[in-house]
Chain A
Amino acid sequence: MHLLTRIIPIALLLAAWELVARVGWVNPNVFPPVTEIVLRWLVLFIDGRIYGPLWDTLWRALVGLAAAIAVGVPLGLLMGRARWAEWFFAPLFSFGFPLPKIALIPLYVHWFGLFSLSKVMLIFTDCLFPMVLFSYHGARGLSPVYLWSAQSRGTGRVRMLWRVVLPLSLASIYDGVQVAVVVAILVAVVCEMVSGGGGLGELMIRSYRYGDVRTAFAMLVTISLIGYALYKVAQWLRGRLLHWHVAEA
């Protein structure tokens, strides 16, 4: 019942859209009917044109994200537990977090070329901020009881970060991953729209240049679905991996 009430407004909206486009109140080459967009979307999958760009966007986003996790989590944890690291990095990262990293596209193209590397690096840079900040907040808010008990058993400093601080900060780190996964897809697509080099973003801008609204729309649907799917996967993983987690830590 609840699901049904949610579907009704969307169904009405889509039906109105279809009707307006079919009746000819709007130019169907500017605002095509929903069914034609869905059809184009299916065709893109059936004739296989979409797989190459889809793969390009996906691997760039995931590699950039993975690199940001690999670098950001240790750095964030260190900031949470070591005074000097907090003193130096915390202001830099909290200052840089809201700034538009997208503006660095031309610089990254100059440094890393037009192709995948510049995109992966920008995705890495952009995702690094949420990863560092969420890990940092996770590690900072730990109850000292856990640290004391580990310390009293003679746990060394590096081991402490790895075996005590990391597991206890995981909930916050996963929040960071969920933010970063959305950022990764967004930055990948914008980079591809701006500097080309394959991927869904480039395909989208190319279909715009040819005035092919249906493909552009199908791209938008695909991009949104990927973003949503990755977000859901991150959420699912979080549930699977964190079921043991102590909530109050």
Chain B
Amino acid sequence: MKALATAKIIPLLLLLAAWQAASATGLLPKSVLPSFWDVAASLAGMLRSGEIVPHTLASFGRAGAGFFAAVIGGVTLGLLMARIPVIERAVEPILLLIYPVPKPAMIPLFMIWLGIGDFSKIAVIALACLLPVVVATFNGARSVDNLLLWSARARGTPERRLLWRVVLPAALPQIAAGVRTAIAIAIIVLVSSEFISAEKGLGYLIFAYGGVGANDAMLAVVIYLAALGYLLDRCYLAGLRRLMSWHAFAH
């Protein structure tokens, strides 16, 4: 497993080495693309001076707030939809209506409604993350093995308890996949919204450095953001594996 992971990193390292070599030999002019070394040095400088920290906190505060609101709301809504027909009939058409709307395109409207501050960004992120979580929860809760429900009912579990103690745990693998999609979406919407309006945050930093032609610093933030997104995804998967080791899907 470990050897496999190392082998997968080789192409990425080769690519970075080729980039550095092309810059060093002058094949790739620095006005077009700064060398990898310059970008890395710039990133190291930003990390050492702590300049990037408040921007990271601002960005991840927004993304985190929207994301967690979406997970809590989405799981609740998905479960209710799966078990209570009236709610399904009322909510499903509305979800179908919002589904094809490209969520970042709602940023201007949310800025009109909620101002250009954090609120509008958090709301768009929450809405964008909500849909995959609701759909995954709904599908997961729908496909719960009836045997589980029957045996719980036979043991006298009340309906409300059934939802939290039987349906939710059984639907967890699908919910987990929906949440993973939501993490990626949160970052995309975050960056889009910070490009459009922000005075703090990683998206703002990328845009500001790009605007003054500081390409090495701009790329440093892009790579930093990508690395954070990747780490987040890895941590999520690792945490999931640990949390769900009891679940059938882990075996």
A→B interface (CB under 8 Å) = 5-10, 13, 30-31, 87-89, 91-92, 95, 98-100, 102-107, 109-111, 182, 185-186, 189-190, 193-194, 201, 204-205, 207-208, 211, 213, 216-217, 219-220, 223-224, 227-228, 231
Q: Which residues of B contact A217 (CB under 8 A)?
A: 109
* Nearest opposing residue in chain B for A88, CB measure: B11
Q: Which residues of A contact B149 (CB under 8 A)?
A: none
Dominant SS at the A interface? helix
Closest 4 CB pairs of A and B: A106-B210, A208-B108, A228-B100, A91-B8
CA distance A75 to B166 in the complex (A): 45
Q: Which residues of A contact B109 (CB under 8 A)?
A: 208, 213, 216-217, 220
The stretch of B137-145, B154-162, B225-233 that contacts the partner chain: B225-233
* A205 pairs with B218, CB closer than 8 A: no
CB distance from A166 to the nearest CB of B (A): 25
Q: How many B residues face the partner with a CB closer than 8 A?
A: 52
* B108 pairs with A204, CB closer than 8 A: yes
Q: Which residues of A contact B195 (CB under 8 A)?
A: 102, 105, 190, 193-194
Considering only residues 20-35 of chain B, those with a C-beta below 8 Å from chain A are: 32
Q: Which residues of A contact B8 (CB under 8 A)?
A: 91, 95
Q: Which residues of B contact A224 (CB under 8 A)?
A: 100-102, 105
* B94 pairs with A13, CB closer than 8 A: yes
* B94 pairs with A10, CB closer than 8 A: yes
Per-residue interface assignment for chain B, residues 85 to 106, with 1 indicating a CB less than 8 Å from any chain A CB and 0 otherwise: 0000111111011001110111
Per-residue interface assignment for chain B, residues 101 to 143, with 1 indicating a CB less than 8 Å from any chain A CB and 0 otherwise: 1101111110111000000000000000000000000000000
Q: A103-B225, A193-B105 are in contact. List 10 more A-B contacts (CB 8 A).
A: A9-B93, A92-B11, A100-B191, A102-B191, A103-B191, A110-B213, A186-B102, A189-B104, A205-B108, A205-B196
Per-residue interface assignment for chain B, residues 71 to 94, with 1 indicating a CB less than 8 Å from any chain A CB and 0 otherwise: 000000000000000000111111
CB distance from A117 to the nearest CB of B (A): 15
CA distance A228 to B209 in the complex (A): 36
CB distance from B170 to the nearest CB of A (A): 27
- With contacts A31-B113, A208-B108, A208-B112 taken as known, whether A106 is within 8 angstroms of B192 at the C-beta atoms is no
- With contacts A9-B94, A194-B192 taken as known, whether A106 is within 8 angstroms of B211 at the C-beta atoms is yes
